[in-house]
Amino acid sequence: MRRSGLRVQRSQIAEINVTPFVDVLLVLVVVLLIASPFLQRQIPLDLPKETLKPQSDSAKKRLIISMNKKGEFFIGTQKYSLEKLINQITTKMPGQLEERIYIRADRTIVYDKVIHLMAGLKKAGAKRIGLMVDEAP
């Protein structure tokens, strides 16, 4: 039997489907947002010295870890190895891990040693770590 009836004629859509286009653009935006901080790190800069505001009394009570030119660690005048320093802070000063810990390192020290100290403090649970600088004249 033959079907008789009206044929449904489909008309072609003359519009462009923009959904894939928008998806590609969003992916490009995300890639650029992720890549942009890495591009800024490659720019050589000579950062200016800044006059700093005086520290408050609460900031003066924070824990300060000093590093001399030899890479030795000190709290006050007491000398520690890295392992003993981390152990001292976690066992005898657990409240300091919640407060800001300042690192005061000699400017000629190898950057790698400061990073090892910061990583050790972070692993021990330090929340906020700051670096101390001298005020510009």
- pLDDT of the residue at 22: 93
> Of 62 and 33, which is predicted with more confidence?
33
H or E element, residue 32: helix 19-40
Q: How far is CA 112 from CA 53, 57, 81, 134, in A?
A: 29, 31, 16, 21
- pLDDT of the residue at 46: 47
* pLDDT higher than threshold 60 for residue 47: no
Per-residue b or e along 13-43, where b marks 16 or more CB atoms closer than 10 Å to that residue's CB: eeeeeeeeeeeeeeeeeeeeeeeeeeeeeee
- pLDDT of the residue at 60: 53
- pLDDT of the residue at 27: 94
Q: How far is CA 121 from CA 28, 56, 90, 96, 107, in A?
A: 37, 24, 9, 11, 20
The mean per-residue pLDDT over the stretch 25-44 comes to 75
Q: What are the boundaries of each domain within the chain? A: 57-131
Nearest to 82 by CA among 109, 128, 117, 106: 117
Q: Class of 57-131 per CATH?
A: alpha beta
Give pTM, 2 decimals.
0.54
